[in-house]
Structure formats: C-alpha cells, structure tokens
C-alpha cells in the first residue's frame, strides 16, 4: 500500500470508500495498524486517559504529545499520522504555529484542533504555511468542563445548525479533514453530505465518510465502554492484529457502527 495522504483521503470520500482510523500511542501499535489496513493513525490526546491515567485530556502537554507522536512515527510506514494539539496549546496564533510545527517535525502529517468557527483564522494560517489541519467538532473533550460533561451534542435544531455552520467555516479556511464526536446519526450524515472534505465519525453514525475509535476501547481494554464502542478482540481467534483488521472490514462494509453504537 502506498502512503496515505490528505489528497488520497479526499479521493476516497469522492469514491465512496470508507476511511479507517484508529488511535495509537506507540511504535508497536502503530506497526500493527499499518499491517492490518488502517488508513489514518490519530495520536490523540486521549492518551491522557488511556496511557497516563488522567480523568480527562486537560492535563496532557505538548511534551507528552511530541513523545508519543515520535514513537508512532517510528512504527509507521503507510498510514497518515495526525497529531493532536493538546489543551491550551493553540490559545494564540503564535502558539498554534509553533506547536503545530513541532508536531510535524515529530512525524505527524496533519495536526488536529478542537473548536468551531473561531479557529478559522488559525486554520487558514496553518494551511498557508503548508500544515494540513483536521478540525474536531461535536463533543470536544478538552472543553468537557464547559460542556457540562460527556454529553451528546447537536440534538436540537439550533445546535445542529451551529455545528454545520462551524464545519463549513473551517472547511472554507482550509481544513482537510473533520472529526465529529458524539452527535446524532442524522447530523453525521448531514455533515458528510454538506462538506467536500472527509468527515470521520466517533459516535456519529454509519453515514460519515469514515470511523475512528480509541484502539484500547476497540480491544475491550477500558473499564467503561461508551455506547459507540464495540469490542473487536473478544472472540477473535487471531489476536490483536486480527481484531484491528476486523474493525477495518466492518467499517468498510458499513457494518460498524450499528444503531446500537449510534445516537438518535
């Protein structure tokens, strides 16, 4: 498989090919993702919960993100690697440019930011400087305190319209990809239909252009399993690699997520 690029992801959307995304935080899992057909590896600030034992992503630092991005990059061969900008690492344009450059130098091919239309100028500045951007809307874990907890977003017409408007603003500013988290399935489909860039869902229904899960959740390793997660490892005779391949197959064949893993 030739290396996946942002351009290739757009081609996949146009062709109706589902995009398979998983998080990974080290070289071993990065290599396993590569050998089992994962298109995109997200070095997520979810490592704060999964690897470092924090209650949220808020304590994660740039030092943490750079350390894990380098590890993933060393294990990667073909996948597109996205590096998360952690909490308050993009509070100013200067911070955004400096920290995004550091993530790219650590081995990321794209950076991810959480937030709406207020980020458009930052996205535009990064794009103009050759740094591809993935936007993140819906449930944005860095803002969980402001949101009042881990709640489904966009359930009423007004908030759904705002998410769509934010998404269009970020696309117009140059974002190459959008992650949308914990929104009703109908809104996930609306976003995918409204945007020319790929929309990757997590708890956003089967009609987005691709799916992402936290690797450890997908392997059934977490103590708590969110509604949108399926354990692909239990009962899988081939072990972790086969579980990753089974996840990819289910995404590509539109067998995951089901209604049981989605929100109305």
Catalytic residue among 114, 171, 181, 236: 181
Q: Mark whether 181 is an active-site residue.
A: yes
3-state secondary structure string, the chain? Answer: CCCCCHHHHHHHHHHCCCEEEEECCCHHHHHHHHHCCCCEEEECCCHHHHCCCCCCCCCCCHHHHHHHHHHHHHHCCCCEEEEECCCCCCCCHHHHHHHHHHHHHCCCCEEEEECCHHHHHHHHHHHHCCCCEEEEEECCHHHHHHHCCCCCCCCCHHHHHHHHHHHHHHHHHCCCEEEEECCCHHHHHHHHHHCCCCEEEECCCCCCCEEEECHHHHCCCCCCCCCCCCCCCCCCCCHHHHHHHHHHHHHHCCCCCCHHHCCC
Residues acting as catalytic residues: 181
């Amino acid at each position: 498989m030739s290396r996946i690029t942002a351009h290739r992801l757009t081609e996949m959307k146009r062709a109706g090919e589902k995009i398979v995304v998983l998080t990974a935080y080290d070289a071993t899992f990065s290599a396993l993702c590569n050998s089992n057909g994962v298109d995109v590896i997200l070095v997520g600030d979810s490592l704060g919960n999964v690897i470092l034992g924090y209650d949220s992503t808020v304590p994660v630092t740039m030092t943490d993100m750079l350390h894990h991005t380098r590890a993933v990059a060393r294990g990667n061969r073909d996948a597109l690697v996205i590096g998360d900008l952690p909490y308050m690492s993009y509070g100013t344009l200067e911070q955004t440019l400096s920290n995004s450059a550091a993530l790219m130098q650590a081995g990321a091919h794209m950076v991810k930011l959480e937030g709406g239309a207020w980020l458009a100028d930052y996205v535009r500045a990064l794009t103009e400087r050759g740094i591809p951007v993935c936007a993140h809307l819906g449930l944005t874990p860095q803002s969980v305190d402001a949101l009042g907890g881990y709640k489904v977003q966009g359930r009423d017409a007004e908030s759904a319209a705002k998410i769509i408007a934010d998404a269009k603003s970020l696309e117009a500013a140059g974002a190459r990809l959008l992650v949308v988290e914990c929104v009703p399935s109908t809104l996930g489909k609306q976003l995918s239909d409204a945007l020319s860039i790929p929309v990757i869902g997590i708890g956003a229904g089967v009609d987005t252009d691709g799916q992402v899960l936290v690797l450890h959740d997908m392997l059934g390793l977490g103590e708590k399993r969110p509604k949108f997660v399926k354990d692909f490892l239990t009962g899988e005779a081939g072990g972790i690699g086969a579980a990753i391949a089974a996840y990819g197959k289910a995404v590509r064949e539109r067998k995951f997520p089901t209604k049981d893993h989605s929100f109305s």
